Each structure stands twice: as C-alpha cells, then as structure tokens.
Amino acid sequence: MQDQLKSMEAEALARLDAVQDLAALEDWRTEYLGRRGRLAQIMRGLGALPAEERPAVGQVANQVKARLEAAYEERRVALEEEAKARAFRAEAVDVTLPGRPPALGRLHIATQNLREISSIFAQMGFEVYETPEVETDEMNFQLLNIPPHHPARDMWSTFYTDREGVVLRTHTSPGQIRLMRERYPAEIRAILPGKIYRYEQVSARYEYQLHQVEGLAVGRNIHMSDLKGVLVAFAQQMFQGTRRWRFRGSYFPFTEPSFEMDIECVLCGGGGCRVCKYSGWVEILGAGMVHPVVLQNGGYDPAAYSGFAFGMGNERIAMLKYAIDDIRYFFANDPRFLAQFG
C-alpha cells in the first residue's frame, strides 16, 4: 500500500507540472485530493490492513497528502500570478504613444492675406479705414464720376436692393468719398479693406463676393511718382522681390491718368500659360491720380490738392502669391484647402 501511495504521488506531481491554468488545476485537485479522489480511494483500503501496520501506512499517507497539498498551493499561487500578469499586459495602456492633439482653428487665408497687405502699407504710414458694405448708388457710382447711364457702369455688375438707390458696394472706392468728407482739410494716407459684391457668374476667375483693398493718399504736391514708388514697394514686399512688374495705361472714371500694374505670372514664370492668357503677365491692381471731380466731391479743392488711389483684389493677390488656380476655394469652406495656410 505504501508503494501504491508513492507511485500515486509521483504521478500526481508529474501531472501537476503539466497543469497550465487554474481550471486544469482544479481538475487535478479533485482527481487526487478530492473526497472521492485517488488518495481517498487508497486510504479506504487502510481498514483491511493488519492493525500493527496501520499507523506507519497512515503516517506515510498523511505525509503524501501534505506534500500534494503544498505542491497544489504553490502551483495555484504561481498560476494566479501568471494570470494577473497576463491580464495586466492585455489591458496595458501604452503611455509612450504620442497624444492626439486637438484640431486648432486658424485665420482664413483671405484674412491672413488682408493682414499682410495692411502691415506692408502700415510700414509706409497708411492707416486702415473701413466703410459700409451697403452703399447708395450716389456713393458707389455718382460721386466717383460715374453718372447714371455712363457706359463705365458696364464695368460693374451690381446687386441692387429692394430700396431705390441702395446697392451692395461693387468696390471699396466709395470709402474714398466718406474718408475725404470726414478728414477735410487734413492730409490722408489710408487703405480701405473690405468685402465687395458683384453680380457675376461664379467661375474659376470670378466670385460674387471678394475682398478689396483700396488705397488713398490726398495732400499737396502728391505726384504720380509717389504712387509708383508706393506700389513698387508694396509688390516687392508682397511677392518677396521675386517678380518683375510693369505699369500699363488704363481707364477708370475716378482717376486721371489711370494705369494697371502687372506682375510676372507666378504659374509660368513669364513664359506664358492659360492663367496669364499666354502673355506672361497678370494684372494685380488698378491705380491712378484721383480725378479732380472726385477730389471736389470729397471736399478738396483740386487746384490746391492732389492725390492718388489704387484698388486691388485680396483673393487675386493671394492666388498669385500661392499659385491658387481657382477663386472658388476661398468661400467653399473646404478644410483641406484652408489647412494649407497656417
């Protein structure tokens, strides 16, 4: 019987080594140490032994039981630790992963560009002056030397409101009249940025709303050379001095003489392409000496005062600066476009 106990113990310990999880361990315990387990079965034979052999066999049986229980306990602790460690590994948070930064807002490219234009003119002493987007026909046209039925009105397709004689301004130029009337007889050096509206078929080149930057200088002894100097200084800073420019005679009702300023096409570098209509040049602004009639409408005597004015499209400048080929991107609110400028 002692041999039986010994071989059972050896078998049990060998099986215990192979136990890999707590469920298998519980099966093992039932099989060897349970009430109907192998040890209990052997012990039931104890009564059949001669009385003098029983104490010795009983002692061996108790030792075997104690060793098996100790081995069981040791294995249980080890398996529980292992299970815990596995769970920790599975649920672990990798604190070394970089975090997810929240998406930050930024200024719209149109606003950034407006601010850049403003800061360049600020260095030359130009203040920023803003005027209303809804104007009277008188301010938007007539006082700027564009009477009703003047053929020059064809240059501006206009949004008229329900109220007679009230329009969405088609350019920032009516601000010239407002500014002059407010400041007379002081000298003026200002830019007038803001939204303008045109009744246009929307396309890659035309939008019905845009930002324009008007410039106005009024004083004594202001000459065409001053205007050219200011515009060249602006273009050199805005385009980092990388482009050639040229002036080209033009016509506007509120300036005399008038001209337009072109810069070398950004897309083809002057070689000629679809955007510049194969000329190598793109117009960036219109300018001229303030027409005597406009000076007078602003309250300044054209015999004593002179002035210059210019106007440029903010989005157009941005398109040329960043080689953007479609003006509709500016108001389409597509983050993939807007996120490129920050």
- Cβ 239 to Zn ion shortest distance, Å: 14
- Cβ 272 to Zn ion shortest distance, Å: 6
CB atoms within 10 A of CB 252: 24
- Cβ 284 to Zn ion shortest distance, Å: 13
Q: How many residues bind Zn ion (CB under 5 A)?
A: 6
- Cβ 106 to Zn ion shortest distance, Å: 29
Decide whether 217 or 263 has the Cβ nearer to Zn ion.
263
Is 293 a binding residue for Zn ion by CB under 5 A? The answer is no
Give the 3-state secondary structure of residue 242.
coil
Interacting span for Zn ion (CB under 5 A) from 18-26, 211-219, 252-260, 269-277: 269-277
Decide whether 256 or 283 has the Cβ nearer to Zn ion.
283
Segment 238-267, which members bind Zn ion (CB under 5 A)? 265, 267
Burial of 185 (0-12, 13-18, 19+ CB in 10 A): exposed
Which residue lies nearest Zn ion, judged by its C-beta?
A: 265
- Cβ 264 to Zn ion shortest distance, Å: 8
Q: In sequence order, what are the residues at sequence separation of 6 or more whose Cβ sits closer than 8 angstroms to the Cβ of residue 106?
A: 338, 339, 341, 342
Interacting span for Zn ion (CB under 5 A) from 245-253, 272-280, 294-302, 328-336: 272-280
Burial of 21 (0-12, 13-18, 19+ CB in 10 A): exposed
Judged by CB under 5 A, the residue of 210, 276, 290, 320 near Zn ion is: 276
- Cβ 319 to Zn ion shortest distance, Å: 12
Q: In sequence order, what are the residues at sequence separation of 6 or more whose Cβ sits closer than 8 angstroms to the Cβ of residue 239?
A: 263, 320, 321
Decide whether 39 or 266 has the Cβ nearer to Zn ion.
266
Exposure string for 23-42, b = 16+ CB within 10 A, e = fewer: eebeebbeebbeeebbbeeb
Decide whether 233 or 267 has the Cβ nearer to Zn ion.
267
Decide whether 214 or 262 has the Cβ nearer to Zn ion.
262
Asked if residues 131 and 168 have their Cβ atoms less than 8 Å apart, the reply is no
- Cβ 304 to Zn ion shortest distance, Å: 44
> Rounded to the nearest 10 degrees, what angle do helices 2-18 and 22-33 cross at?
170
Interacting span for Zn ion (CB under 5 A) from 20-28, 79-87, 270-278, 318-326: 270-278
- What tokens appear for 193 in the block? 């940025």
State which H helix or E strand residue 190 sits in. Answer: strand 188-197
- Nearest 5°: CA angle at 92, between 87 and 96? 160
Is 268 a binding residue for Zn ion by CB under 5 A? The answer is yes
Judged by CB under 5 A, the residue of 24, 79, 166, 273 near Zn ion is: 273
Task: Give the footprint of Zn ion on this chain (CB under 5 A).
Answer: 265, 267-268, 273, 275-276
